[in-house]
Chains A and B, each alone.
Chain A
């Protein structure tokens, strides 16, 4: 918990959230106006959306069928999974929102059972983002490193489908469960370039979430432009204030929310 988030790890109202994109060294800066699901942040989703009979790759080079709904087979890892929800804007992906939902942002902390499962996320789905030594090695749940275990914090950008991957290194077929602690924020971009500079130079407290984007896919770039009008604010050194403010003022003229 920092000064701008609560015990759940979610943003307090009237604080600033930074979503940083390593691939471009740019950040989206959001002012949280409201958290519409305050006091109802827990969503017990249930088992992973794995359907019996689905064929998954294994760590040992073969493939294996999912033995029962929600069960991750021994030594297997999933391809990108989305979380279906009936009635959602896109019923195959509960976290997906179109561009006209640009004033909404999902901040999601996912807890998976068993907690020792490997977890990573593809942004967009099917684009693996883990990298080592530039593009020399692609990392992720199917490799020895480049994954988290047990929990994962992220913000879901509108108009992008994320793909979550899970890996089970043990020799047991495991029942699974996912709990989301999430917030649906009403956000806006701060319209003051000086404020943005102070946030991005960490003079003003904010909650930073680094999106695991090491390869800027055209889908994401297009989505950012269509949703927010910009692909983010570049980071500047603290001694580059004048240059930064000029750049930010120009970007703020393009911002859609």
Chain B
């Protein structure tokens, strides 16, 4: 058979709303017809995050969060990784080994949340280089 291993590279981006100092980033991509607050990982597959690019007008902490069950109510999220933009500017993080998030049951998902200093909301942007395989 000539079927090849499946692997899809997606660039996912999101931004803060500029008015609140914390929240969840709506995720968007050229593949997404509409934004989502989290991305559900298909069962048996992995989500690999190869790079992150962050830009913003002020101090922003982005947190990668993961859940084992996005169908639960409420959803329990655990922090996996954080990246902090210390002030206005941008950072780019390339990974030689990716952050791996696994789909064990098909209910796993990840999201990006943000926090900013009190009374200092600012626009900030995050881009993820995501591979699903």
Contacts and interface: CB of A to CB of B under 8 A. Distances in A.
A67 B2 contact: no
A211 to B, nearest CB: 12
Given A115-B6, A148-B3, A153-B2, A171 B132 contact: no
Contact of B33 (A109, A153, A175, A209): A175
B106 interface: yes
B73 interface: no
B33 A170 contact: no
B31 A115 contact: no
A113 B109 CA distance: 21
B95 interface: no
B98 to A, nearest CB: 16
A172 interface: yes
Nearest to B34: A173
Contacts of A175: 30-33
Interface stretch (B13-21, B37-45, B77-85, B117-125): B37-45
Interface residues of B, number: 29
Contacts of B54: none
A206 to B, nearest CB: 14
A98 interface: no
Contacts of A144: 43
B10 to A, nearest CB: 7
A116 B10 CA distance: 11
Contacts of B31: 113-114, 172, 174-175
B1 A153 contact: yes
A229 interface: no
A151 B40 contact: no
Contacts of B4: 111, 150-151
Contacts of A149: 6
B33 A173 contact: yes
Interface residues of A, number: 29
A170 B3 contact: no
A114 B132 contact: yes
Contact of A172 (B3, B6, B36, B70): B36
Interface string A174-190: 11000000000000000
Contacts of A1: 2
B8 A170 contact: no
A24 B36 CA distance: 46
Interface of B: 1-8, 10, 27, 29-34, 36, 38-43, 45, 70, 106, 109, 132-133
Given A1-B2, A169-B43, A171-B36, 12 more contacts: A71-B33, A114-B8, A115-B8, A116-B42, A148-B3, A150-B8, A151-B3, A151-B6, A170-B40, A172-B33, A174-B33, A175-B33
